[in-house]
């Protein structure tokens, strides 16, 4: 008992008493901590959320406040590259951090004002943002040779965060009104219908001012892009027809599944479910609890997808070192070769902490066991200044050193959704989202309240 009490005291000193300085510098707000023994589950979740949030708080771009793509300068990205989708996740993380009082509220407000004012002046194309921008100037940084314009999937992740922020920062004062007004202006200027290519049956992922529709990438499910269709249907000024959800999104060789893997039925998607980010990115704000349409119960879909992924790691047919009931989670991440979308059908022996930790709402007991293993057993190798590093492979004796915005953000947000449901409540409270879901004949407890 004395040891646990001492650990709790050390935790309070290290991460609470260091910096609730009203009006102090932003960098004063959170200090990194090492491994602290004997923490309760709740205290450990606080430590992980707080330290992971440092990626967005301390490492966010100083001029724009947007999330940098990654912590290391790789693939010639440079220091100025910020990511649109990762910023959406970072905004939701900011809300969770403010809710948990990791940072003073006035500083959270100031950071949001900086973000929205920068975004409003940044490059956009028919209201949509590029995948990458220069965090100093707001100019597009091309993601690929012809990917130098709009990316509506990344834009959807950004708006998922922005709409949560609009619902959260509700004070009747100039700064919070400014946040809401600018988000509403950007939301109103997003021309979702443009991305149907003059009324075709699909939303199209990319458009370039130099190459037009040359990328020619229709968005079809089931994958990480559901939120794109939900937002497009929810638009006030430029909605798309409800028919394209059925004729576009739901028409692919990998949409319906219905087979059973390791005893779990998978309603939608690739065999074994694909990488776990499919059940996470669209559902940081979109609440899958009780969410149903004619194709699936999305809670069943996401829970079973997660359980299949874990069961595969326990089965470990390729006999990779380290895999087991407390060490699981295959999703897209860095690896010893570069980057890949890891899954049961593309298993390279790489475990990515965000996979299990961003599944907390679906598998809270199993995710907590994985968290304790990552923190206490592997922490000397994968715990650092911004939380858990991106990935590791015990078979290759490889432990990543980098952090990625799109992997750090969901850890904070989905732990918060498990703890309080905060981001789910905010997003589902949006009148536009409720109208869009009704338009598509979704069922949700959020709709029955209105």
**Backbone phi, psi, residue 4, to 5°:** -65, -40
Q: Can you say whether the dihedral through the CA atoms of 360, 257, 438, 92 is positive or negative?
A: positive
Report d(CA 50, CA 170) in Å as an integer: 24
* Per-residue pLDDT reduced to its tens digit, 256-307: 999 999 999 999 999 999 999 999 999 999 999 999 999 999 999 999 999 9
**DSSP label of 373:** I
Can you give the pTM of this predicted structure? Answer: 0.94
Report d(CA 374, CA 379) in Å as an integer: 6
| Unique residue bearing structure tokens 């794109």 | 228
The predicted pLDDT at position 16 comes to 39
CA distances 120 to 61, 129, 154, 188, 304, Å, are 16, 10, 16, 12, 40
Judged on CB neighbours under 10 Å (0-12, 13-18, 19+), 304 is buried
Report d(CA 39, CA 42) in Å as an integer: 8
Q: Cis omega (within 30 of 0) on the bond before 445?
A: no
The predicted pLDDT at position 29 comes to 58
The predicted pLDDT at position 231 comes to 98
Residue 439: CB partners within 8 Å, gap ≥ 6? 233, 234, 239, 242
Q: Which residues pair with 399 in a beta bridge?
A: 392
How many CB atoms neighbour CB 36 within 10 A?
19
| The three-state (H, E, C) secondary structure of 28-70, written as one string | HCCCCCCCCCCCCHHHHHHHHHHHHHHHHHCCCCCCCCCCECE
116-229-411 Cα angle (round to 5): 60
**Backbone phi, psi, residue 318, to 5°:** -95, 0
The predicted pLDDT at position 450 comes to 58
The predicted pLDDT at position 17 comes to 36
Report d(CA 415, CA 305) in Å as an integer: 18
Decide if 350 contacts 394 (C-beta within 8 A): no
Residue 86: CB partners within 8 Å, gap ≥ 6? 67, 68, 69, 157, 404, 405, 406, 409
* Per-residue pLDDT reduced to its tens digit, 191-219: 999 999 999 999 999 999 999 999 999 99
Q: Which residues pair with 338 in a beta bridge?
A: 335
Decide if 354 contacts 348 (C-beta within 8 A): no
Report d(CA 96, CA 256) in Å as an integer: 34
Report d(CA 65, CA 172) in Å as an integer: 23
The predicted pLDDT at position 158 comes to 98
| Spans of the chain below 70 pLDDT | 1-29, 74-77, 449-450
285-339-401 Cα angle (round to 5): 85
Decide if 334 contacts 393 (C-beta within 8 A): no
Count of alpha carbons within 13 Å of 8, Cβ hemisphere only? 9
């Amino acid at each position: 008992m004395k040891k646990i009490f001492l650990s709790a005291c050390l935790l309070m000193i290290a991460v609470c008493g260091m910096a609730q300085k009203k009006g102090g510098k932003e960098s004063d707000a959170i200090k990194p901590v090492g491994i602290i023994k004997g923490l309760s589950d709740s205290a450990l979740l606080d430590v992980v959320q707080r330290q992971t949030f440092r990626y967005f708080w301390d490492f966010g771009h100083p001029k724009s406040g947007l999330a940098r793509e990654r912590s290391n300068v790789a693939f010639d990205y440079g220091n100025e590259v910020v990511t649109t989708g990762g910023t959406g996740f970072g905004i939701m993380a900011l809300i969770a951090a403010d809710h948990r009082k990791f940072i003073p509220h006035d500083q959270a407000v100031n950071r949001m004002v900086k973000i929205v004012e920068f975004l409003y002046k940044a490059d956009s194309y028919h209201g949509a943002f590029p995948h990458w921008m220069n965090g100093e100037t707001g100019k597009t940084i091309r993601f690929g040779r012809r990917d130098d314009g709009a990316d509506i999937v990344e834009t959807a992740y950004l708006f998922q965060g922005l709409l949560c922020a609009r619902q959260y920062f509700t004070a009747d004062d100039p700064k919070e009104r400014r946040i809401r007004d600018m988000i509403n202006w950007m939301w109103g200027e997003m021309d979702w219908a443009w991305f149907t290519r003059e009324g075709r049956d699909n939303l199209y992922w990319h458009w370039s001012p130099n190459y037009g529709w040359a990328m020619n990438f229709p968005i079809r499910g089931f994958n990480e892009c559901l939120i794109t269709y939900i937002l497009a249907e929810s638009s006030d000024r430029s909605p798309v027809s409800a028919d394209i959800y059925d004729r576009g999104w739901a028409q692919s060789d990998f949409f319906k599944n219905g087979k059973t893997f390791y005893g779990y039925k998978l309603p939608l998607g690739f065999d074994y479910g694909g990488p776990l980010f499919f059940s996470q990115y669209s559902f940081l704000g979109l609440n899958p609890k009780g969410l149903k349409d004619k194709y699936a119960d999305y809670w069943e879909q996401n829970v079973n997808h997660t359980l299949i992924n874990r069961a595969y790691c326990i089965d470990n047919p390729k006999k990779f070192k380290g895999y087991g009931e407390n060490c699981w989670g295959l999703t897209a991440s860095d690896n010893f070769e570069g980057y890949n979308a890891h899954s049961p059908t593309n298993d390279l022996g790489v475990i990515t902490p965000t996979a299990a930790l961003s599944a907390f709402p679906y598998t809270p007991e199993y995710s907590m066991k994985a968290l304790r293993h990552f923190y206490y057993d592997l922490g000397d190798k994968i715990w650092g200044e911004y939380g858990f590093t991106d990935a590791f492979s015990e078979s290759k004796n490889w432990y990543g050193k980098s952090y990625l915005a799109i992997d750090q953000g969901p850890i904070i947000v989905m732990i918060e959704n498990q703890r309080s449901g905060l981001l789910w409540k905010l997003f589902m409270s949006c009148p536009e989202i409720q109208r869009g879901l009704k338009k598509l004949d979704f069922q949700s407890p959020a709709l029955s309240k209105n």
